[in-house]
A and B are shown apart, each in its own frame.
Chain A
Amino acid sequence: MDYIINVSGYILEGSIVTFQLYLITALLSVFLGIAGALGKISKIPLLNSFLSFYTWVFRGTPLLLQLFFAYYGLPVLGITLEPFPAAALTFTINYGAYFTEIFRGGIESIDNGQYEAAQVLGMNYRQTMSRIIIPQTVKRVLPATSNEAINLVKDSALVAVIGLGDLLRAAKVAVTRDFSIIPFIIAAVFYLIISSVIVNIFRRLENKYSVYE
């Protein structure tokens, strides 16, 4: 029992890095996704092509490869990043690509009549998007966003490969040190707890938005 508590404490320390990475990525990639989606539905051809290229590359190649590139590849180009910034940057850009497509689909699913109603009431583009379109989009993209939020918990474990001391790496160290598989089981429990909390948050959000329609 003492051992479990000890190891849990050790793994919990590692999970601080996981939490930090999670929060930074979640926040930044959602903003990147909103900006990307608005850019993609805009009628600026150059911006459209650029964003299509962006989502094509980052959704079409392994996240692990992107992580390697940011950490081992960029130094070749003269840009050297510490493990944490490299991981945060890679995750943000990668998840931003997914969110760009999810939010774009959500925005495009809103009936054109909503834009017309807003227009004849005198709203400008910014008012229409922020007051009418985006709030309705949020409801529609919640399920897909919830999936990505859970994926991100698990994907965060990839940072162990560039030497970042996250939850999984702490467990791995403990396993090697103690010749015991218990740290892995504890790590699994930790991941499950985090995922459950996130699922719960999204369920509450979906309930909140289910008052209409």
Chain B
Amino acid sequence: MIEAKNIYKSFAELEVLSDVSFTVNQGEVISVIGPSGSGKSTLLRCLIGLEAIDSGEIYIEGLSVKKAGRKAYQKMGMVFQGFNLFPHKTVLGNLIEAPIVVNGEDKKEVKKRAEALLEKVGLYDKKDAYPSQLSGGQKQRVAIARALAMQPDIMLFDEPTSSLDPELVGEVLTVIRDLADENITMMVVTHEMSFAQDVSDRVFFMDHGKIISDSVPEKIFVNPDSTRIQNFLTKILSQNDGSL
């Protein structure tokens, strides 16, 4: 569960998040959509501590990040647009690194868990490959497995398919869809509207650093109540050949 209260964040003069508050319940899947520069990525980055907030409160599974720090952050896993795999480690090495180094877990057990995760994302046969030998879609699936290897309660996805070739988007979305069915809490910043509509319990529409709509997908996609949302959807759907 995530609770955010009155978050403000500025980069120099630019206010990126302005009085953002929301709650994400256990097991909910939230899509965050909106124009570029609306603060979607910054919101995720603030939640997991990659950016410091200027004011406000964030609670992760009831823990205040201000007080609990690392302990609260570690309840979350994050997947980046640019994968950020460790190039000097094999696929399996990427997965087992943090559980061993950070949690001090037994290597044998971590390996077993990591192999099961690779099985799940369909990349068991690539476990000894290096990231440079993988396609973008495969890299992102490894990145998802790597985050899951730390057994987080919450997964944050920051535009997980934005740097992929169009034909590789599907395999990554399938993996995320499967996760959504597993009762893991998720927040996904995405430009894939049909995906957002299918998997989300709720959709946050962000614009100018605010969540201007927090509602079920049907409401946003079928019956948007604001012209800003309508304009955004018209624009993005025309780019996607009109298919939702």
Q: Please list the residues of chain A having a beta carbon within 8 angstroms of any beta carbon in chain B.
A: 111, 113-114, 116-117, 119-124, 127, 131-132, 135-136, 139, 211-213
Best-buried of A113, A114, A120 by chain B (most CB within 10 Å): A120
CB < 8 Å neighbour of A122 from B80, B84, B98: B98
Contacts of A120 in B (CB 8 A): 48, 50, 73, 76-78, 147
A117 cross-chain contacts in B, Cβ below 8 A: 80, 84-86
A114 neighbours in B (Cβ, 8 Å): 84, 86
- A116 near B73 with CB under 8 A, answer no
In Å, the complex CA distance between A119 and B102 comes to: 11
Give B residues with C-beta under 8 Å from A.
Answer: 48-50, 70, 73-74, 76-78, 80, 82-88, 97-98, 101-103, 130-132, 146-147, 150
Are B74 and A122 touching (Cβ within 8 A)?
yes
Closest A residue, CB atoms, query B143: A117
B98 near A213 with CB under 8 A, answer no
Known contacts A120-B78, A127-B101, A212-B132, then 6 further A-B pairs from the complex at CB < 8 Å, ordered by chain A residue: A113-B80, A113-B82, A113-B83, A116-B80, A117-B84, A127-B102
A206 to chain B, nearest CB (A): 14
| Residue in A closest to B74 when the chains form the complex, CB atoms | A122
**Which residue of the partner chain B has the closest CB to A139?**
B88
Picked from A111, A123, A212, A213, the residue with its CB within 8 Å of the CB of B102 is: A123
Question: Across the interface, which residues of B come within 8 angstroms of A111, CB to CB?
Answer: 84
CA distance A164 to B84 in the complex (A): 51
Known: A113-B82, A127-B101. A122 touches B130 (CB 8 A): no
Identity of the chain B residue whose Cβ is nearest the Cβ of A137 in the assembled complex: B88
Residue from B50, B82, B98, B131 in contact with A121 in the complex, judged by beta carbons closer than 8 Å: B98
Question: Which of chain A's residues have a CB closer than 8 A to the CB of B73?
Answer: 120, 122
Known contacts A116-B50, A127-B102, A131-B101: does B87 contact A213 (CB below 8 Å)? yes
The 6 A-B pairs at the shortest CB distance, nearest first, are namely A121-B98, A113-B84, A117-B84, A212-B130, A120-B78, A122-B102
Q: Can you list 23 A-B pairs with a CB-CB distance of less than 8 A?
A: A113-B80, A113-B83, A114-B84, A114-B86, A116-B80, A117-B86, A121-B98, A121-B102, A122-B70, A122-B73, A122-B102, A122-B103, A123-B98, A123-B101, A123-B102, A124-B70, A127-B102, A131-B101, A136-B88, A211-B130, A212-B87, A212-B130, A213-B132
CB-CB under 8 A from B70, the residues of chain A are: 122, 124
Partner of B97, one of A124, A131, A212: A131
A132 to chain B: which residues have CB within 8 Å? 86
Residues of A within 8 A of B88 (CB): 135-136, 139, 212
In the complex with contacts A127-B101, A211-B130, A212-B131, A119-B50 CB distance below 8 A: yes
Cα A59 to Cα B86 with chains together (Å) = 34
Chain B residues with CB under 8 A of A135: 88
Known interface pairs A122-B73, A131-B97; A116-B102 also in contact (CB < 8 Å) = no
Which residues of A have CB within 8 Å of B147? 120-121
Q: How far is the CA of A123 from the CA of B73 in the complex (A)?
A: 11
* Least CB distance, B159 to chain A, in whole angstroms: 13
CB distance from B158 to the nearest CB of A (A): 10
Least Cβ–Cβ distance between B103 and chain A, in angstroms: 8
Residue of chain A at shortest CB distance from B132: A213
A155 to B97, CA, bound (A): 42
Question: How many angstroms from the CA of A213 to the CA of B133 in the assembled complex?
Answer: 8
A136–B87 contact, CB under 8 A? yes
Knowing A116-B50, A213-B132 touch, does A122 contact B150 (C-beta < 8 A)? yes
In the assembled complex, the CB of A52 is this many whole angstroms from the nearest CB of chain B, namely: 26
Q: How far is the CA of A117 from the CA of B98 in the complex (A)?
A: 10
CA distance A6 to B102 in the complex (A): 60
